[in-house]
Amino acid sequence: MAQVLIRELSDQIVKRLKNRAKEHGRSLQAEVKIILEEAVPDYEQARKRIHTLRNKLKRSGKTFSDSADLIREDRDR
């Protein structure tokens, strides 16, 4: 697994990260790892989930109106 070294963080940032980690009951390393994981989502996995959901809805036979048409109708009122 890769490692990342971040240089020249201000003491204030490190203190805030440590406080946040303590609040969540985690180590500083674990807290920073979670922050980075949340900041960089796995877009490919999200696309796969969306594709799977769309296929599931298509197979169910349900139809859905185009939301752009609904918005346009609402604006025209």
Domain boundaries, the chain: 11-77
- The pLDDT, as a whole number, for residue 61 is 82
- Alpha carbons 14 and 17: distance in angstroms, whole number: 5
Q: How would residue 77 be classed by pLDDT, with cut points 50, 70 and 90?
A: confident
- Alpha carbons 44 and 29: distance in angstroms, whole number: 26
Q: What does the angle CA 43 – CA 49 – CA 50 come to, to the nearest 5 degrees?
A: 90
- Alpha carbons 34 and 68: distance in angstroms, whole number: 37
The 10s digit of each residue's pLDDT in 25-71 is 999 999 999 999 999 989 999 999 999 998 888 888 877 777 888 89
- The pLDDT, as a whole number, for residue 60 is 86
Return left, alpha or beta for 20; rule: phi > 0 is left, psi -120 to 50 is alpha, else beta.
Answer: alpha
